[in-house]
Amino acid sequence: MQNTRKRKQIFPKNNKQQSEITITKIKSNKTKKNPKTDTIEPYPSHPRPTPEDCLAIRDELLEFQGFPEEFAKYRDERENPELNSSKLINGSEKSEVSAEKLSVLDGLVSIVLSQNTTDVNSQKAFGSLKAAFPTWELVLAADQNLLENAIRCGGLAPTKASCIRNILSCLKERSGKLCLEYLRDLSIDEIKSELSSFKGIGPKTVACVLMFHLQLDDFPVDTHIATTLGWVPEGADAKKTYLHLNRRIPNELKFDLNCLLFTHGKMCNRCSTKTVKQEKKESVNKPCPLLNHCKKSD
């Protein structure tokens, strides 16, 4: 039967009243703190970003470019928790929903393959891997050269293949199952500890798994944009930037802001350190909406 439930609107456009409601909600949730990470303040005297900064940039980027289509399925999963179920077949996790629904382990591997390459190449590498080895058991049993060949189009094949094999080997040794769905029952700090224990898995990969594949509130680091906006001091490193932004950005806005800033950074020559010309096209003839939010020049 077709679901006729009306989807709630979570991305207001030019709606001052809705923005004020969002700010009220954000301020009311400030008392809900993480007992471990919320005690860490790497830049206690640095005032930005404020909740108002985050909301204004979210709304302006949304008006400027719309919500990125590539992240729409993850938004749907956050709105509809029933889409997150999975099951085990012969010890490996399989999605019950559709071919587009990734398990947590699928998601982690796809993020590993996305490192230091384009979206197109990483998607090709993941598709090639799944076509060559339909189950994670087959990946674990595969010869290293065959595994590298399957993902070579994504670049850094030897490094990424070793990382994937290490993840699978550790999972097999720990639980006998190639599955990460148990992470859904853990706290954010426990999930971070589990994922960080895999060799080659850093904070940004962990944050992406939390946000996209576990539907939890976290904010992956982009030190370039954070510095440009004046959200962190000059010279801030990635670790301290991550701690600072995840403390200051309201949970209600982390998913929105990450998706919008990530997409904007690819499209805007001014806001990115990369030079992928074919992806940077929208801001050529439009003023960058972040200009008014950037720190003042010295």
Determine how many CB atoms are found less than 10 A away from the CB of residue 22.
21
DSSP state of 291: G
- Closest Cα to residue 95, out of 133, 127, 137, 135? 135
> Are 219 and 258 within 8 A, CB to CB?
yes
Is 87 one of the catalytic residues?
no
CB contact at 8 A, 49 and 229: yes
Q: Alpha-carbon distance 124 to 113, whole Å? A: 10
- 3-class DSSP assignment, residue 88: strand
Q: Are 143 and 125 in contact (CB under 8 A)?
A: no
Q: Is the dihedral of CA 36, 42, 45, 50 positive or negative?
A: negative
Q: Are 22 and 252 a contacting pair, CB within 8 Å?
A: yes
One-character DSSP codes across 198-261: STT--HHHHHHIIIIIS--------HHHHHHTTSS-TT--HHHHHHHHHHHS-HHHHHHHHHHH
Are 171 and 179 a contacting pair, CB within 8 Å?
Answer: yes
Name the nearest CA neighbour of 184 among 104, 107, 110.
Answer: 104
Which of 204, 254, 277, 281 does the annotation list as catalytic?
Answer: 204
Q: Largest alpha-carbon pair distance within the chain?
A: 61
**In DSSP terms, which residues pair with 86 in a beta bridge?**
95
Task: Cis check for the bond before 250: say yes or no (omega within 30 of 0).
Answer: no
Q: Which residues form the catalytic set?
A: 204
